[in-house]
Amino acid sequence: MSFQSQTAVLEQREFRKPQFNLLLWAMLALVAIGISAGIYALYAGHHQTLGVTRTVPWGIGISTYAYLAIISTGLCGLAALSHLFGGNNLAPLANRMVWLSIAAIFGAFLVIGLELENVWRMPLGVILAPNPTSNIWWMGTLYGMAVGIMMVELYLIITRRFKLAVILGVCAAVTELFANSNLGSVFASLNARPFWYGSQLPIFFLASAFLSGAAAIVIFTHASYALRGKKVTGESFAALQTAGKTMLLLIFMIGLATGWKFLNAFVGSEAVGDAARLLTQGPLSTSFWVFELGIGLALPFVLLLATRLKSIEALSLAALMVLVGQFFSRLNLVVAGQLVPQFSDFEGMPAYHHYAPTAPELAMVLSGIGVLGVCFLIGEYFLGDRFRHHHED
């Protein structure tokens, strides 16, 4: 047996412990529960099992799809920067980011597939009835292309053909960045929803992508070492500190953009102001102030500054808070844009529409997170040697 094969076997043995098996079974259970909920919704009827209605047609399934897709874009973009400019501190994390980017988009595809009532129409429509004038058509096409390119890139990394892998990594990142900005445009081009409409969202989604990607790689890298009972040291810790700096910068930028958006909303049209008040004073105020801003932006910013990026535990806690905040940020954005009635001047129209996710919807959300968790564990078990070392031709 070769030295590399012996190393791989030893690394796999490190995971043969109760913690790894328990996590794997827990993630698989989440996937199974979500798929079961999707099958039940398909049988019983989506209109009866999901919380969405004609007035609020997009719910937590759409926001979770956007959340996971945005994480995928951030990881892919950071991986491309790391591979393209190999001398930077993030380089030791690049290969893991490629695999996690694939895992995140697989989770996003599962959630959107379970949420759609006729999911088979999407791939058939993309291939058999292309519509280049549709943002949603481009979204599916670009994300599909990106996954294919990243799968080939991952194969080249595994087979140590790094120069070609770098080229494909850049192509995948460009495709994902276009797909992500196009995802923002799906919302931003709907002038019937004034809270979404405008040119800010595609750029806001890109900033959120890099913030989410930096947070995700911190958590998963720390988890990888924790599962092996090792401490994060050396180049890996320096890489996580760079990811922490990225989080600090983007938290500040997103906080600033959010502040300006709401200031402009209160002096803009009545519909936009109503949606802003719904988040700041209305039914979504707790979700906005506590989870999106407090836990998602303010607390991690203070924690990272206070610890000066020297504590791996603080880095991971801040990253977890960022990901929680980003989840609620996507949910708040999707829901707030729909709860304000489009025809509020009509008599008998409520001040706000109502939306609350049902148990099947929440199960579908958990299935996407489960896919990401399963892929992370499988990747660490079989590809750990590729993730923890940076190679060059």
Which tens digit of pLDDT belongs to each residue from 238-275? 999 999 999 999 999 999 999 998 988 888 777 788 88
Flag whether 30 is in a domain.
yes
Flag whether 270 is in a domain.
yes
Domain that holds residue 101: 8-341+350-387
Q: What is the pLDDT of residue 391?
A: 42
How far apart (Å, rounded) are the C-alpha atoms in residues 393 and 376?
Answer: 26
Arithmetic mean of pLDDT over the chain: 87
> How many domains are there within the chain?
1
How far apart (Å, rounded) are the C-alpha atoms in residues 230 and 31?
Answer: 29
Cβ atoms of residues 33 and 366 within 8 Å: yes
Which tens digit of pLDDT belongs to each residue from 348-388? 566 788 899 999 999 999 999 999 999 999 999 888 877 76
Q: Which of 173, 325, 307 minimizes the C-alpha distance to 241?
A: 307
Q: Is the pLDDT score of 198 beyond 60?
A: yes
CATH number at residue 235: 1.20.1630.10
Q: Is the pLDDT score of 234 beyond 60?
A: yes
Query: Tokens representing 40?
Result: 């039940």
pLDDT mean over 125-145: 84
Q: How confident is the model at residue 393 (pLDDT cuts 50, 70, 90)?
A: very low
Query: Tokens representing 382?
Result: 């079989």
Query: Tokens representing 378?
Result: 């499988």
Flag whether 393 is in a domain.
no
How far apart (Å, rounded) are the C-alpha atoms in residues 97 and 179?
Answer: 18
Query: Tokens representing 233?
Result: 């040291």
**187 SS3 class:** helix
Q: Which of 134, 90, 29 minimizes the C-alpha distance to 370?
A: 29
Q: How confident is the model at residue 175 (pLDDT cuts 50, 70, 90)?
A: very high
Flag whether 3 is in a domain.
no
Share of the chain above pLDDT 90, in %: 56
Q: What is the pLDDT of residue 390?
A: 45
Of 68-82, 93-107, 119-133, the least confident: 119-133
Q: How confident is the model at residue 11 (pLDDT cuts 50, 70, 90)?
A: low
Q: Which residue has the higher pLDDT, 55 or 386?
A: 55
Q: What is the pLDDT of residue 137?
A: 85
Q: What is the pLDDT of residue 87?
A: 61
Flag whether 98 is in a domain.
yes
Q: What is the pLDDT of residue 348?
A: 58
Share of the chain above pLDDT 70, in %: 91
How far apart (Å, rounded) are the C-alpha atoms in residues 75 and 210?
Answer: 7
Q: What is the pLDDT of residue 14?
A: 61
Q: Is the pLDDT score of 158 beyond 60?
A: yes
Flag whether 2 is in a domain.
no
User: What are the distances in angstroms from CA 2 to CA 9, 57, 161, 392?
Assistant: 11, 57, 19, 20
Flag whether 87 is in a domain.
yes
Cβ atoms of residues 23 and 323 within 8 Å: no
**328 SS3 class:** helix
Q: How confident is the model at residue 110 (pLDDT cuts 50, 70, 90)?
A: very high
Of 1-5, 74-78, 223-227, 302-306, the least confident: 1-5
Query: Tokens representing 145?
Result: 């292309």
Q: What is the pLDDT of residue 210?
A: 96
Burial of 263 (0-12, 13-18, 19+ CB in 10 A): exposed
Q: Is the pLDDT score of 10 beyond 60?
A: no
Highest mean pLDDT among 110-119, 159-168, 267-276, 317-326: 317-326
Flag whether 223 is in a domain.
yes
How far apart (Å, rounded) are the C-alpha atoms in residues 193 and 339?
Answer: 10
pLDDT mean over 34-48: 90
